Amino acid sequence: MFYMNNIEIQDIKNYHKSQNTRCEKFISCADSVFRYVLVIEYLGGSFAGSQVQPGQRTVQSEIESVLNVLTGHDVKTVFAGRTDRGVHAKGQVVHFDLPFEIDTYKFIHSMNSVLPADISIISIKQTERDFHSQRSAQYRWYKYTINNRQQRSSWFNNALHISQELDIDNMNKALSYLIGKHDFSSFKSSNSSNPAKECIFHRAICLKDAGIIYIDLIADRFLYNMVRIIVGTVICIGKGSFPPEYMLEVLEAKDRTKAGPTARPEGLVLMSVGYNNKYKINDELNKEAIKNENLLCKAS
């Protein structure tokens, strides 16, 4: 949970009081609903995942705790996608509703002043009532990082360390089989109760720079553990355990037992989530895409 000193608590009480006073000025305040969208980043190592779980520290519980204090309301949030224990995010998108408007410039500073150090709010804006962080999303972008150097790295301590040299060419050829619309049952956790199985892949590539491998995966959605199972499979191919064509065999088998192991979570980051331009949410998200060969633009 988060901790605040007496000064911060008083500031929040004053802020809440000012918002209530402001709310009274709205003629139909009690009947109005204002939707806000957050873009957040977090380090997942100390969380039991993004989604609220009883008795567990999660990203959602931390965000909602701060929102409840700042607004004086029982605020419920909706995340664009669920991330597992240990998985990080640089562009997770969250929406929530309030019965009054807020000063977003002040609000983001208030949130960041009391949130724990492993969560940050990148941006906040009021959005259209039909916007839904999960259902309105057109694609998600995940990046998995592998330290493929002989020695571990302090700078890449969140990356999966594999000292055996991986064959990047074979890994890229294997990933190319994922492009398009397919049944991804082979890459879905056997513990998942969600009947969904089809996804549309826009981009699947890996790059190597100074011994660090980056695997970028962009699709309209991802099944439970799908990214980590794909990564686990492509690592096996990179090690030479299977030829690149094995990825196609696994895809067509629609059988989880045919795919490789589930890769560890610490190397995985949810980079960003893409939406229709009418929502004007992508401005902040695209900054990272521009730095990474404009992957999001290529997926749109």
What does the pLDDT look like over 101-123, one tens digit per residue? 999 999 999 999 999 999 999 99
Same domain, 116 and 61: yes
Q: Which residues are catalytic?
A: 84
Residue 200 belongs to a domain with what CATH number?
3.30.70.660
DSSP letters for 276-290: -GGG--HHHHHHHHH
* The pLDDT value given to residue 22: 41
> Where does a domain end: 105, 127, 149?
127
Q: Are 96 and 228 within one domain?
A: no
**pLDDT per residue over 142-201, tens digit each?**
999 999 999 988 888 889 999 999 999 999 999 999 999 999 999 998 887 787 889 999
Q: In this model, does residue 15 exceed pLDDT 70?
A: no
Q: Is 78 within a domain?
A: yes
> In the predicted model, what is the mean pLDDT of residues 276-295?
63
> What is the helix (H) or strand (E) element at residue 31, kind and residue range?
none
For 125-170, what is the HEC assignment?
EEECCCCCCCCCCCEEEEEEEEECCCCCCCCCCCCEECCCCCCHHH
Q: Which pTM does this prediction carry?
A: 0.84
Number of domains forming the structure of the chain: 2
- Indicate whether 93 and 158 sit together in one domain: no
176 and 102 belong to one structural domain: no
